[in-house]
Structure 1
């Protein structure tokens, strides 16, 4: 595809939380998929090379995390896949239609047609090539249009889709309830959450110490300070058990638990 319709309002509503370099990476990655009609490679550094952003692999990784899915064929974007499939189907129908129109226009074989055979064949080839090219380059008019969900969900109209929050939080507890809560929040609150969430997740690498996502949403966890343990504090005051072997005396085969009792008893007798 050398052309596709772009809707800035729809695009900005889904990508408002991206940093400028992340936004640039996303646009170039979309252009690559549309132009080549195939997924992105599975290697981040190779993608960075293809979109001329070799020193910004971290920005590309963020975009892949939120907007692409890794498959056997590489990274795909659901919206791009649907648009390319529709485009190819429409192009094929256009080619078939052009062929049918041309077949109807072909003159019947007669004496005059025989005399002008060479001329007719040249004209036919020229017209068929023109029709085929136009069919391939016909723009897609539905690109970037909101998709209507037949189940009644309005996720596509959210400024930040629920899946973005869910994948970032990375703790699967009460997903359905969390999705309902997420959709009830305002656009501004969702943006505040996505600004706070990556740092909060990084501060709680062990998931059992991370709040359940529903608790985070209900108690406005995005307003809490992120507390990170500072290295070196109270380290000297804590006993080091790594160098201690509290069972050493019990591992000695010559150890006698009654040894020494007689000497201690004699000392007690002398004192009294």
Structure 2
């Protein structure tokens, strides 16, 4: 699926001024900035938008950069996430590509549905030549359109009401599962609840979890994940307590680089 998007790569025109990018540039300069976007391009080219850190030597060769600086860009600036399988990925890249993936998915489904209609119609004809002639005959086009509409309605009624969640939803759930870090209850049951959330809600949850963990670093006292979902915990206000002798510096959390 990633190959469809090889000609397009959405990103902010002022990304160089993002807080995380500025930190990256302070440490690694424009070399780090270029590496960041090179890594995004590599992720975009993967079927599931993830890349195994076990293959870091291949990145060294492809990017002509040292292992140390590549790993630094991946790990040290909160620009990428690393899952349990030791793959790194970018939540912001996945979120930005989501509209284009959905558009491609809808287009592919429409084509497949039309081919299925044509195949079923063809099977009802004993004479293939007659079917082809009828299919392209302008005099029969009105009837054909009506038949197709009826067949489409029949397929839609017999198709499952809910399709399986796409792989991006799966990736984002895995991000939540690792980030929340309180593996209590049924993961399968929790994932079903996650699949019902909109992409916007999923992103709000992931943003909130990072702040929630900072305010409650001891996972023993965090809500169970299912309780967090049921009570819409991501809407809770985060109250942080600071040492008056060591006040925090002003910093705004921005999950999208």
Q: TM-score, normalised by structure 2?
A: 0.41
- The structure that is helix-richer by fraction is 2
Larger radius of gyration: 1
Q: Which of the pair has the greater relative contact order for Cα pairs under 8 Å at 6+ separation?
A: 1
What is the TM-score normalised by the length of structure 1? Answer: 0.39
